[in-house]
A and B are shown apart, each in its own frame.
Chain A
C-alpha cells in the first residue's frame, strides 16, 4: 500500500516569467485518497494540467508507477492510467452520454479492429460496457441524450463515468463537489470511497473541507504555487501557514485595522 504511484519531484511551471508552480515535491501512494487544496489561484488546476501532460513542465520530473513521464504525451499518460475530470465540465456536447462514456474506453482500444468495429451498434461490446457503466451510476435513462442540455449534476456524474470507463489507476478530480447540493455531495463522497475501495488512487482538488475530511487520508496545500503544508485534514486545518494563506496573517490584519 505504501508504494508511491505518482511522484512529483521539484516541479516548477513558469508562464512567460510568472512562476505558477514553484519547486513542488510530493507523492501519492498506490490506493491512497489524497486531496490537494489551496486558495484560488494557488496552482491546483495547473498542477493537474502538468500531471496529465496538457502543459509541458518547466523544471522537475513526474514519475508514474516508477516510470519517468515528464515528457510523455497527454495520450500516453492516459494509457498509463492517469485520467482526470474537469473543474468546468468538459463533456463532448454533440455526443450522447453513452458515446461520451465510450470515448473513455479509447485509451484501451488497441489494434485496427477495435478502431474499425462499429461501436454505435447496441449489440457492440463497447456499447454494452458503456450502458453498464451508466447503469451502475444510475444514469441509464440519459444514455441516448446529447450531454449539452442535461442538468449540471447529471453532467458531472457522466464525466465521472467517462473517467472510470478508462479503467484508471489514478483519477484526478478537479472540484468534483462544486455546484452539487448536500445530498448529491454525500452520494458523490460515497461513490468515490467505493471507487477507492476497488483499488483506484484518488487525487482530489476541492474547496469543501467537510468533503475533503470525509474523503481524504492525506492533504497537501498549495499557495502561490508552493507547497506549504502536508498532513491529515485536521493537521493542515490547524497549520499556521495554511491559516495565513486562507485568512491572511494576523500581522497584516492588525496593520489593516491600524490604518
Chain B
C-alpha cells in the first residue's frame, strides 16, 4: 500500500473511532462538542504512561481509555443536567478546559508538544477500529441501545416504561469518552507526537458534523459520515484551491437532501424489504 493511501486510511479510521465516541451519546440525543478534550486526555495519558512508565502499549492504551472514561463519568453529571444549546456550550467549555490545563503541564511538554516514542501502525489501528464498530453495533442492538434510542425519541415516555434516563445517558456519555480516549491514544502513537493544537474545538465540531451527516439513527451512520469527511477532500485534491469550496457545497447539499443523515432507519428497512421481495419468503409465496 502506498504511503499516501495508508495515510488517508489511518486518518479515516481514527476519525471513525472518534465518530463513535460522539455517536453513542448522540444516539440518545446528547450533543457532545467536547470530544476533542477526551481525545486529548487519551492521547496524553497513553503517551505519558508509555514514555515515562515504559508500560506495554496494550496496558497504556487501556489505562488511557479508563482515565478518559472516569473523567467522562465525573463531568457527565453536571453536563447532563443541562439541555439543548446549554449542553453544547458546557461540552465546548469542557474541551477548552482540558486543552487549557494540558498546555500548562510541563511534564508533558506544555505548549511545545510532547513526542511519543512507541509507534503503532495501520494494522493495529484497523483492528481497534473494527473492535469499536462491532462493539457499538452490538451495544445498539441490546436493550441498552433500545433505551438509548427511545430516550432520543421521547424521554418522558421512555421513563414511563421503566428506562432509567439518567443512568442510560451517563453510561452512553462515559463509554463515548472511553472510545474517544482510545482514538486519542492511537493518534499519539501513530503520529509520534501530540500537541494541544490538534485537539481544538474545531475537531469536535467537525466530528459532530460528520456524525450528524452520517446519521445517528443507526450505528452504520458514522462509517459513511466519517468517509464523507475524510475521503471527499482527497477526491477533490485535483481542484487545488477550489477543493474546500466543492467540499463545502457537497456537505450543504447532503444536509439539504438528507436532513436526518445519510443512513436512516427508514432507508435500511426499505433496503431490507427490497431484499426480501427479491428473494420471496414462504409467507410471501402463499
Interchain CB contact under 8 A, A75 and B163: yes
Using CB atoms, name the residue of chain B closest to A145. B269
Q: How far is the CA of A196 from the CA of B162 in the complex (A)?
A: 23
Interchain CB contact under 8 A, B150 and A95: yes
Interchain CB contact under 8 A, B164 and A75: yes
Using CB atoms, name the residue of chain A closest to B171. A115
Interchain CB contact under 8 A, B144 and A115: yes
Q: How far is the CA of A79 from the CA of B160 in the complex (A)?
A: 9
Q: How far is the CA of A84 from the CA of B164 in the complex (A)?
A: 17
Interchain CB contact under 8 A, A92 and B154: yes
Q: Are A146 and B149 also in contact (CB < 8 A) when A75-B164, A92-B154, A119-B141 are?
A: no
Q: How far is the CA of A181 from the CA of B149 in the complex (A)?
A: 32
Interchain CB contact under 8 A, B159 and A74: yes
B243 within 8 A of A: no
Interchain CB contact under 8 A, B160 and A115: no
Q: How far is the CA of A144 from the CA of B146 in the complex (A)?
A: 14
Instruction: List, in ascending order, chain A residues with CB within 8 A of B144's CB.
Output: 115-116
B204, chain A: closest CB distance, angstroms: 25
Q: How many A-B residue pairs have CB under 8 A?
A: 99
Q: How far is the CA of A253 from the CA of B149 in the complex (A)?
A: 53
B151, chain A: closest CB distance, angstroms: 9
Interchain CB contact under 8 A, B162 and A146: no
List residues 59-110 of chain A with CB under 8 A from any CB of chain B.
73-75, 78-79, 83-84, 86, 90, 92-96, 99, 102-104, 106-109
Instruction: List, in ascending order, chain A residues with CB within 8 A of B145's CB.
Output: 120
Q: How far is the CA of A103 from the CA of B153 in the complex (A)?
A: 12
A223 within 8 A of B: no
Q: How far is the CA of A79 from the CA of B147 in the complex (A)?
A: 15
Of residues B140, B150, B152, which shows the largest number of chain A Cβ atoms within 10 Å of its Cβ? B150
Interchain CB contact under 8 A, A119 and B146: yes
Interchain CB contact under 8 A, A162 and B161: yes
Instruction: List, in ascending order, chain B residues with CB within 8 A of A86's CB.
Output: 157
A231 within 8 A of B: no
Interchain CB contact under 8 A, B159 and A94: no
Using CB atoms, name the residue of chain B closest to A147. B153
B76 within 8 A of A: no
Selected from B150, B162, B217, B266, the residue in CB contact (under 8 A) with A78 is: B162
Interchain CB contact under 8 A, B150 and A107: no
Interchain CB contact under 8 A, B146 and A108: no
A1 within 8 A of B: no
B158 within 8 A of A: yes
Q: Are A92 and B150 also in contact (CB < 8 A) when A115-B142, A116-B144, A118-B138 are?
A: yes
Selected from A54, A118, A121, the residue in CB contact (under 8 A) with B160 is: A54
Q: How far is the CA of A109 from the CA of B145 in the complex (A)?
A: 13
Q: How far is the CA of A140 from the CA of B74 in the complex (A)?
A: 44
Instruction: List, in ascending order, chain A residues with CB within 8 A of B273's CB.
Output: 144
B258 within 8 A of A: no
A114 within 8 A of B: yes
Interchain CB contact under 8 A, A83 and B153: no
A186, chain B: closest CB distance, angstroms: 28
Interchain CB contact under 8 A, A146 and B160: no
Q: How far is the CA of A86 from the CA of B149 in the complex (A)?
A: 20
A204 within 8 A of B: no
B265 within 8 A of A: yes
Interchain CB contact under 8 A, A74 and B143: no
Interchain CB contact under 8 A, B217 and A106: no
Selected from B141, B157, B164, B217, the residue in CB contact (under 8 A) with A90 is: B157
Q: Are A126 and B161 also in contact (CB < 8 A) when A92-B149, A92-B150, A145-B269 are?
A: no
Q: How far is the CA of A99 from the CA of B143 in the complex (A)?
A: 10
Using CB atoms, name the residue of chain A closest to B140. A120
Q: How far is the CA of A95 from the CA of B156 in the complex (A)?
A: 16
Interchain CB contact under 8 A, A117 and B142: yes
Interchain CB contact under 8 A, A108 and B162: yes
Interchain CB contact under 8 A, A75 and B143: no
B26, chain A: closest CB distance, angstroms: 13
Of residues A53, A92, A119, A121, which shows the largest number of chain B Cβ atoms within 10 Å of its Cβ? A92
Q: Are A103 and B146 also in contact (CB < 8 A) when A90-B154, A94-B152 are?
A: yes
Q: How far is the CA of A119 from the CA of B157 in the complex (A)?
A: 20
Mark each residue of chain A from 208 to 227: 1 if its CB lies under 8 Å from any CB of chain B, else 0. Answer: 00000000000000000000
Q: Are A103 and B161 also in contact (CB < 8 A) when A92-B149, A92-B150 are?
A: yes
A160 within 8 A of B: no
Selected from A73, A78, A94, A166, the residue in CB contact (under 8 A) with B153 is: A94
Q: How far is the CA of A116 from the CA of B163 in the complex (A)?
A: 14
Q: How far is the CA of A120 from the CA of B141 in the complex (A)?
A: 5
Interchain CB contact under 8 A, B141 and A74: no
Using CB atoms, name the residue of chain B closest to A141. B283
A43, chain B: closest CB distance, angstroms: 19
Q: Are A74 and B269 also in contact (CB < 8 A) when A116-B142, A119-B142 are?
A: no
Would you mind naming 5 contact pairs between A and B with Cβ atoms under 8 Å apart?
Answer: A74-B160, A79-B162, A93-B153, A94-B153, A118-B141
Q: What 6 additional pairs, Cβ within 8 angstroms, besides A104-B161, A119-B146, A121-B141? A: A54-B160, A73-B159, A78-B159, A84-B160, A92-B150, A95-B146
